[in-house]
């Protein structure tokens, strides 16, 4: 199924990032040094990057909505001739 709404695509990317963050935290508990917080630190950095990505993505979508009047990806053809 092809997603045509840009906001749904952004939410899907966020869900993928959250799954990766959850894996970092879960697998950090099973690494040989039991008290090693490397997984949690990397997860915090990934959360900060995901928040910045969401803010930039929403700003781009707002700009596209102002210029084109829609967030449908098949109707917005910026790079096509």
Select the more confidently predicted residue: 45 or 77: 45
- Give the H/E segment covering residue 77: none
Average pLDDT over residues 67-78: 80
pLDDT of residue 79: 63
In sequence order, which residues have a C-beta less than 8 Å from that of residue 61 and are 6 or more positions away? 6, 7, 10, 71
Average per-residue pLDDT in the chain?
Answer: 83
Give dist(CA 39, CA 62) in Å, integer.
34
Please tell me whether the overall predicted TM-score, pTM, comes out greater than 0.75 for this model: no
Select the more confidently predicted residue: 52 or 36: 52
Whether the pLDDT of residue 77 is over 70: the answer is yes
- Region at 69 (left for phi over 0; alpha for psi -120 to 50; beta for the rest): left
pLDDT of residue 19: 92
């Amino acid at each position: 199924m092809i997603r045509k709404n840009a906001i749904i695509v952004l939410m899907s990317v966020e869900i993928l990032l959250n799954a990766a963050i959850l894996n970092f935290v879960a697998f950090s508990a099973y690494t040989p040094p039991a008290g090693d917080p490397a997984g949690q630190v990397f997860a915090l950095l990934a959360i900060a990057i995901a928040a910045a990505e969401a803010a930039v993505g929403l700003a781009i979508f707002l700009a596209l909505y102002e210029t084109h009047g829609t967030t449908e990806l098949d109707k917005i053809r910026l790079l096509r001739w």
